[in-house]
Amino acid sequence: MVFMNVGEAEGLLSINDYPFGFGFGSPSKAAFGLAIPCSSNLVGYAISCSSTDSTRNISFAIEHYNTTNIKSSGDEIITLNSSNVFNSTVNKLYSAGNICVRVSSVSTLQNCIILSIICRIRLKNLITRIRQMFLI
């Protein structure tokens, strides 16, 4: 089973910020982002920016924190220049925890009107995992 989630942000971006909210307007931070209750694969993402700056250069790191808030190694780095980015060839396995998106670098961006990221997540053995979570 694959599901998608949209994270949105507005305003100026600063290095090491976690600008995306993944629901109910709640901003992210390290170890607090898109909560995934079981093992999963990140299988793709898309990121887009509506801005008046045509020469923007932004890099994001997709980070994973496990259920004890320990950061996994091997961040997925996304660079957003003048065009939007789409990648459907990712196949990164994560344990249960949080997926967070951090600004790793930003230059020549004065105005970011709307920024959105869409994550495609594949949950493995979903029915089995739901039964385990609820002890059915």
pTM, two decimal places: 0.80
* Secondary structure (3-state) at 110: coil
The overall average pLDDT reported for the chain is: 80
- C-alpha distances (whole Å) from 60 to each of 37, 44, 124, 128, 133 are 23, 15, 26, 33, 32
Residue 70: domain span: 2-133
Of all residues in the chain, what percent carry a pLDDT higher than 70?
Answer: 80
57-66, strands of its sheet edge to edge:
34-36, 97-107, 57-66, 76-80
* Secondary structure (3-state) at 126: helix
pLDDT at 134 over 80: no
Q: What is the CATH number of the domain that holds 127?
A: 2.60.120
- Number of domains forming the structure of the chain: 1
Token readout for 77 is: 């780095």
Q: Please write the tens of the pLDDT for every residue from 24-82.
A: 677 789 999 888 888 888 888 888 877 777 777 888 899 999 999 999 877 888 888 77
